[in-house]
Every structure is written in C-alpha cells, then in structure tokens.
C-alpha cells in the first residue's frame, strides 16, 4: 500500500469516526431527556427538589405512580385517549386506503394535484379550524363528547393518512390489479385481495404515525372538551397543577406512561415501519 492509498484509508476511517460520533451525540441528546423523566418519576418529592444529583436515583419510590392513579383521573384520560385516537386511526386508515388507492390509479397530473391539496390541508394550522369545528359540533350536539372529538381528529388524520398511503400504493405495479380485474375481481376486490396485502408494511407504518399524532394532540381536546373526566391525556397532564405548585413527580410518571404505547409499538414492529417507509419512498 503506497502513501496515497494509506492516506485515503485514513481519511475514510476519520470520516466514519466523525459520522458515528455525530450519530452517537444525537442519540445521546435524544435519550437524556427521556432518561431524566423516568428517573424523576421514581424519586421522592424531597429528592426532586433537593437531591444532590438530578440524573441519578438515590431513593426509589413508586409513590408518584400510586398518587397518579388515586388522586387524578389518569385512568379515565387513558381510556378517552385510546378511544379517540384508536377510532380516528381506524376510520382514517379505512377511508384513507380507499382514497389513496383511487388517487394512485388516476392519471399522474390529476393525482399530483390531489396530493398537493391533501398536503396543503394537512399543513394548515389546526388553530384555524377550531372555531369552525366548535360551531359545527355545537350545531350537531357533539360538543364536549368523544364522538365529536373523533370527528375533529379526522380533519388532520385523514389527509395525513391518505397522503402517506398514496406513495405506498403507487409502489404497487398497476399490472397486478389489472390482472385481478381480468380474472373477474371488482375494483374493491383487487384492492382487498391484491394491493392491500402487498402494502401492509406501509399501512402499518402509516397507522403508527397517525396514532402518534392523534395520541399527542392537545389543541382540539382543550378547545372542544369542557368536562374534566372526558378530556384526553395531553390536556389532563397539562392540568395537573395545584395552585402555584406543580406535582413534578406525578407529571413525570404520567409522561412516562403516556410515552409507553407509541414507544412499544415502534419497538415491536419497527422492521415493518422501516420496510413501509422504504416502499413509500419509491414513488411517494
């Protein structure tokens, strides 16, 4: 190996070290806040405010979790969030699949225009829709109800789901569903029997992303739900303030439990999520 080749190898090694170092620092900066949140959820109140090391646990306790369930409506908030986010995701996935399949099979110029409209709708700040949704739900007697909140969530989950699924369905060759039509399948039959099984990774990743967005929504339940026991997790946690005192231990415990569903979902089926994103990036 001459000096030039040796220099190139050294440059490549240095570049890899720098790249992995940057990735490590980014990962560390992302995990430290979560680690600190978990540690604080198991600390006593005294240690939270007067402990010698904020990033280390000296006295383990589950008191914050017990108080969270005994002194708040946390379990009710969890149920409300599961119902609202789950229903919004299921409806968005079904309707979004039908819409995305139709858009992916129409001429490209019209399809691109429809996709651009979907992106535009999704990017419009949700605060601009609050007053209109409030008036509509009030007229339909759905204000301060979970069904009304589900309808409100569809205003952003449905465009988002449709937009993502279009890319996944475009990656499925049209010849496959055309062959199914020749064999006697209807359009719906071709979608259900041919296209959907191939697009399962994309549908799974879209569903998880959509659920994460709906699970973390704060503005709509804050504006459209007045009854304390009908609100969702995000609003419930934000309201955990007793006068001028914040129950930090309980808030951290609530945040840990709130982050678990989406975190476990990603950890369990992350391979399908990655496969879905790769498939959607082909023509998305």
Shared domain for 133 and 22, answered yes or no, is: no
Choose between 8 and 87: higher pLDDT: 87
Question: What Rg value do the Cα atoms of the chain yield, rounded?
Answer: 24
- The residue segments making up the domain with residue 130 are 68-280
Identify the pLDDT of residue 280: 45
pLDDT score at 215: 94
Q: Could you tell me if 106 and 26 lie in one domain?
A: no
pLDDT mean across residues, the chain: 85
What is the 3 state secondary structure string of the chain?
CCHHHHHHHHHHHHHHHHHHHHHHHHHHHHHHHHHHHHHHHCCCHHHHHHCCCCCCCCCCCCHHHHHHHHHCCHHHHHHHHHHHHHHHHHHHHHHHHHHHHHHHCCCHHHHHHHHHHHHHHHHCCHHHCHHHHHHHHHHCCCCCCHHHHHHHHHHHHHHHHHHHHHHHHHCCCHHHHHHHHHCCCCHHHHHHHHHHHHCHHHHHHHHHHHHHHHHCCCHHHHHHCCCHHHCCHHHHHHCCEECCEECHHHHHHHHHHHHHHHHHHHHHCHHHHHHHHHHHCCCC
Give yes or no: residues 199 and 250 share one domain: yes
Same domain for 231 and 275, yes or no, is: yes
CATH number (domain holding residue 78): 1.10.3720.10
Q: Are residues 119 and 258 in the same domain?
A: yes
In order of 36, 153, 171, 268, the CA distances from 271 in angstroms are 28, 28, 18, 8
Q: How many residues does the chain have?
A: 284
Same-domain pairing of 130 and 268: yes
The pLDDT score that the predictor gives to residue 75 is: 93
Q: How many domains would you assign to the chain?
A: 2
Report the pLDDT averaged over residues 156-161. 90
User: Tens of pLDDT along 216-245?
Assistant: 999 999 999 999 899 999 999 988 876 666
Q: Is residue 58 part of a domain?
A: no
Q: Indicate if 43 and 166 belong to the same structural domain.
A: no
Mean pLDDT, range 145-163, rounded to an integer: 93
Are 132 and 247 part of one and the same domain?
yes
Q: What percent of the chain has pLDDT over 90?
A: 36
| Least confident range of 84-88, 188-192, 224-228 | 188-192
Q: Kindly state the average pLDDT of the residues 119-145.
A: 90
Percent above pLDDT 70 for the chain? 90
**Contact in structure between 96 and 158 (CB atoms under 8 Å):** yes
35 in the same domain as 125: no
Phi, then psi, of 55 in degrees rounded to 5: -105, 15
What mean pLDDT do residues 251-274 have? 80
pLDDT at residue 138 is higher than 80: yes
Q: Is the pLDDT of residue 128 over 80?
A: yes
Whether 281 shows a pLDDT value over 60: the answer reads no
Rounded average pLDDT over 153-176: 87
User: Looking at the domain assignment, is residue 57 inside a domain?
Assistant: no
Q: In 3D, which of 131, 117, 27, 81 has the Cα closest to residue 257?
A: 81
Mean per-residue pLDDT for 194-202?
Answer: 84
Instruction: Give the dihedral of Cα atoms 39, 41, 47, 53; nearest 10 deg.
Output: 20
Tell me whether residue 60 is in a domain.
no
């Amino acid at each position: 190996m001459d000096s030039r080749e040796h220099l190139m190898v050294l440059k490549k090694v240095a570049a890899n070290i720098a790249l992995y170092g940057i990735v490590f620092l980014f990962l560390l900066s992302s995990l430290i806040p979560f680690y600190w949140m978990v540690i604080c959820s198991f600390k006593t109140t005294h240690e939270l405010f007067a402990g010698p090391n904020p990033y280390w646990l000296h006295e383990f306790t589950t008191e914050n979790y017990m108080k969270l369930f005994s002194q708040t409506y946390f379990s009710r908030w969890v149920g409300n969030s599961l119902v609202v986010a789950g229903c919004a995701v299921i409806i968005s996935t079904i309707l979004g699949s039908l819409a995305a399949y139709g858009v992916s099979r129409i001429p490209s110029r019209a399809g691109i225009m429809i996709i651009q409209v979907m992106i535009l709708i999704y990017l419009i700040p949700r605060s601009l829709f609050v007053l209109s949704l409030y008036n509509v739900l009030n007229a339909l007697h759905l204000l301060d109800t979970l069904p009304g909140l589900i309808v409100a969530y569809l205003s952003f989950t449905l465009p988002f789901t449709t937009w993502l699924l279009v890319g996944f369905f475009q990656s499925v060759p049209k010849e496959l569903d055309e062959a199914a039509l020749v064999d006697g399948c209807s359009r719906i039959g071709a979608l259900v029997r041919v296209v959907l099984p191939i697009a399962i990774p994309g549908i799974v990743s879209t569903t998880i992303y959509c659920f994460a967005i709906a699970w973390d929504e704060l503005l709509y339940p804050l504006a459209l739900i007045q009854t304390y026991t009908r609100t969702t997790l995000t609003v419930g946690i934000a309201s955990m303030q007793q006068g001028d005192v914040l129950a930090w231990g309980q808030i951290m415990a609530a945040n840990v439990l709130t982050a678990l569903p989406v975190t476990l979902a990603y950890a369990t089926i992350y391979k399908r999520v990655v496969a879905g994103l790769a498939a959607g990036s082909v023509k998305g």
